[in-house]
Amino acid sequence: MLIIAGPCVYENDNIAFKTCEFLKKLCEKYGFEYVYKTSYDKANRSSVHSYRGPGIEKGVEFFIKLKEKFGVKILTDFHSEKEADIIKDYVDILQVPAFLCRQTDILKAAAKSGKIVNVKKGQFMAPWDMKNVVEKLTYFGAKEIMITERGYSFGYNNLVVDYRSFPIMKEFCDNIIFDVTHSVQLPGGKGFASSGERRFAPYLARAAVACGVDGLFMEIHPDPDSALCDGANMLDFQMTEKLFDEIKRIWDTLWM
């Protein structure tokens, strides 16, 4: 079981290091492979006044410090070909954001980086449509590809998860990940920002593990209600530890 987890966006070293230390120890306890995730820039915020992050230069500085301190693998998203070329030397996995998952030049840049590529499936994409994304990445030379399910648009300001997508996408991609916390997001739910319903996250995560996903993606924060981005759908440490115990037992029962 692969766990990709961390704060939505980099806020400061204290929060980032505290979260990484907690998650690394928790994954070691349960025998999960751990990858730290965070964003240096969230380019698709609802409002121009929303916190986006420190930018790529400070992002690079942070990734260097995190590697030196904890030795963890790192995933981050990017938004342009130029960004991919800059950030590839400091992370292990490049993530293509959901809204950019069909952009051929973005996929090409990810593939040409030589890194593992994780593509968030767009909220507007059917699972079988992602086969074209995988074919693009393979054509441009990507060696290892992951697809992350993060829910479908379901009316206004709402998402729903179709669990049929996991076996469907498994037919053409070896590594299928489930984004636990973005799937309980309410996009634009506050009008000026997204909202979320974190209380449903454990239910969705347990079901995904039972369906046989290869890993879980989730956003974790010491105090989600004070987070600068996506706080309503992020999990705190207590919820995370309880969830890890539950998914470990499901994983061992069904897949070990």
**Tens-digit pLDDT string for the chain (256 aa):** 999 999 999 999 999 999 999 999 999 999 999 999 999 998 877 778 788 899 999 999 999 999 999 999 999 999 999 999 999 999 999 999 999 999 999 999 999 999 999 999 999 999 999 999 999 999 999 999 999 999 999 999 999 999 999 999 999 999 999 999 999 999 887 776 678 899 999 999 999 999 999 999 999 999 999 999 889 999 999 999 999 999 999 999 998 8
Q: Determine the Cα–Cα distance for residues 61 and 13; give it in Å rounded to an integer.
A: 11
Residue 193: predicted pLDDT: 67
Count of other CB atoms within 10 angstroms of residue 203:
11
Count of other CB atoms within 10 angstroms of residue 109:
22
- Report which DSSP code applies to 121: P
Nearest CA among 244, 245, 223, 243 for reference residue 234: 223
Mapped onto helix, strand or coil, the DSSP state of residue 141 is coil
Tell me the one-letter amino acid at 157.
Answer: N
Q: What is the pTM of this model?
A: 0.96
Residue 51: predicted pLDDT: 86
- Token pair, residue 153, equals 């648009």
Mapped onto helix, strand or coil, the DSSP state of residue 117 is strand
H-helix or E-strand spanning residue 38: none
- Domain of 214 in residue numbering reads as 2-255
Please provide the size of the chain in residues: 256
With a CB cutoff of 8 Å and minimum separation 6, the contacts of 204 are 161, 178, 180, 183, 184
Q: Calculate helix-pair angle for 130-139, 104-112, nearest 10 degrees.
A: 50
Strands annotated E in the chain: 2-6, 33-37, 73-77, 93-96, 116-120, 145-149, 152-153, 159-160, 175-179, 185-186, 195-196, 215-219
Q: What is the sign, positive or negative, of the torsion defined by CA atoms of 13, 14, 18, 19?
A: negative
Beta-bridged to residue 118, according to DSSP, are 95, 146
Domain count, the chain: 1
Count of other CB atoms within 10 angstroms of residue 10:
26
Q: Determine the Cα–Cα distance for residues 109 and 88; give it in Å rounded to an integer.
A: 10
CATH number at 84 reads 3.20.20.70
Residue 26: predicted pLDDT: 98
